[in-house]
Amino acid sequence: MTSALRDNFFVLVILNYHGVEPAQELTGNIISLRLFRSHLKTLRDLGFKSPLCEIFDGGLFRYPEGEKFVLITFDDGFESVYRYAYPLMEEFGFKGVVFVIARYIGRENMWDIPLGRKRHLSRQQIRELSESGWIIGSHSCSHPDLTRLRPGELREELVASRETLEDITGREVKLFSYPYGRLNENVKEEVSRAGYSCAFRSRRSLKNGHFDPLGIERISLYPIDLDIRRKIETFSPRRSYEILKEKAVGLFSYISAYARHKFPAAGGI
């Protein structure tokens, strides 16, 4: 499965954002409210819908025919999702999925080198999103590179985060997003063992292989992506360029977080 599925008349485009702010910032993965509105308008005009209950059934993908669906996801669970993305998506009739870093609920993003501190969603905001029809997924407890953890540490990141979010929402948490998009076969096995049915990568690959429910690809959106139509053309000649761009932004995020961990003074603490 790629970021845009086509099966008979079924089309599902899976998008990945990190945050939305009123004005454009220097950070590479936070987009402006104006650009986000433009993306949503284009999706609506193209006939896309986002009824999550028709896309998922008990955490598993369903395949309804004759529809064009968009799955709008947000990694990290920043408060801006609630303050800006949520009301705008309600205006356009869309629901979303937000992947939360459990240990940073209600706190600032101390796990990353700051280009301006960002606060994460509070417990009440998470609960309200869930009650409004959004899906709450896990993005681990502390946003580490899961491929570098010991077995006990890996299981703690997966299980404790799921249990925390289930306690907040009162609902099963079946979706997971890999921090930095980093995964291997061992991590995927542990994700399944921890009770997740679907897990999402942060970007696409050059391979158009079989559908892997524990390695679902997404189309990542950045401030320079002014034309969302081009982004969702999966078989476009620009595909290789888009993938390289997504990898570059992901690598920067990974390096900045690694530096923040190794050199705390760089994070302003």
- Sequential DSSP letters for 157-198: HHHHHHHHHHHHHSS---EEE-GGG---HHHHHHHHHTT-SE
The series of mean pLDDT values per 10 residues for the chain, 269 residues long, is 47 90 79 96 94 70 72 96 98 97 92 69 98 97 97 99 99 96 96 96 63 90 91 58 49 45 39
Measure CA of the first residue to CA of the last residue in the chain; give whole Å.
42
For the question of whether the overall pTM of this predicted structure is more than 0.85, the answer is: no
Please give the biggest Cα pair distance in the chain: 54
The domain in which residue 79 lies consists of 4-267
CATH, residue 100: 3.20.20.370
Report the number of distinct structural domains present in the chain. Answer: 1
Burial, 151: exposed, middle or buried (Cβ in 10 Å; 0-12, 13-18, 19+)? exposed
Q: Which residues pair with 216 in a beta bridge?
A: 200
**What was the pLDDT predicted at 7?**
44
Q: Which two tokens stand for residue 64?
A: 């309804």
